[in-house]
């Protein structure tokens, strides 16, 4: 059977990816201010746990947060084309920084781009 993305990246790969992403989000002029400024560790953990579970690893996100209902959870934020593009730009730079291999990177980019489009509410 083919290895899952989680088996390819390990906890460590997701950790590097999401740490790199939030380092960028924190100082981003457009989407940075949308995130709660006193819970960066929590934000990092939620996205990391969600992705680990989604790509074949332990289901920590669902155990702790329940069904993701991502569109509903993003409803409080105004997400248009510019915000979607910025999120994807920061994630794409983070995939490079974390040195995620080409094959899993392509799968993740595809998923991110579909999901980010789905999050648009403006």
> Given the rule CB under 6 A, which residues bind ligand HEM?
31, 34-35, 43, 46-47, 50, 65, 70, 73-74, 77, 79, 83-84, 87, 112, 115-116, 119
Q: Quick one: how far is CA 25 from the chain centroid?
A: 11
We find the least distance from the C-beta atom of residue 98 to ligand HEM, in angstroms, to be 15
Q: Residue written as tokens 């934020």?
A: 77
Cα separation of 95 and 121, whole Å? 25
Judged by beta carbon, residue 10 or residue 80, the one nearer ligand HEM is 80
We find the least distance from the C-beta atom of residue 39 to ligand HEM, in angstroms, to be 7
We find the least distance from the C-beta atom of residue 119 to ligand HEM, in angstroms, to be 4
């Amino acid at each position: 059977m083919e290895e899952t993305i989680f088996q390819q990246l390990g906890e460590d790969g997701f950790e590097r990816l999401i740490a790199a992403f939030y380092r960028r989000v924190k100082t981003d002029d457009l989407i940075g201010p949308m995130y709660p400024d006193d819970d960066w560790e929590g934000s990092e953990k939620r996205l990391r746990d969600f992705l680990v579970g989604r790509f074949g690893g332990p289901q920590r996100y669902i155990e702790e947060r329940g069904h993701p209902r991502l569109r509903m959870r993003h409803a409080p934020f105004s997400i248009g084309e510019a915000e979607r593009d910025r999120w994807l730009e920061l994630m794409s730079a983070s995939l490079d920084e974390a040195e995620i291999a080409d094959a899993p990177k392509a799968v993740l980019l595809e998923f991110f781009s579909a999901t980010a489009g789905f999050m648009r509410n403006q």
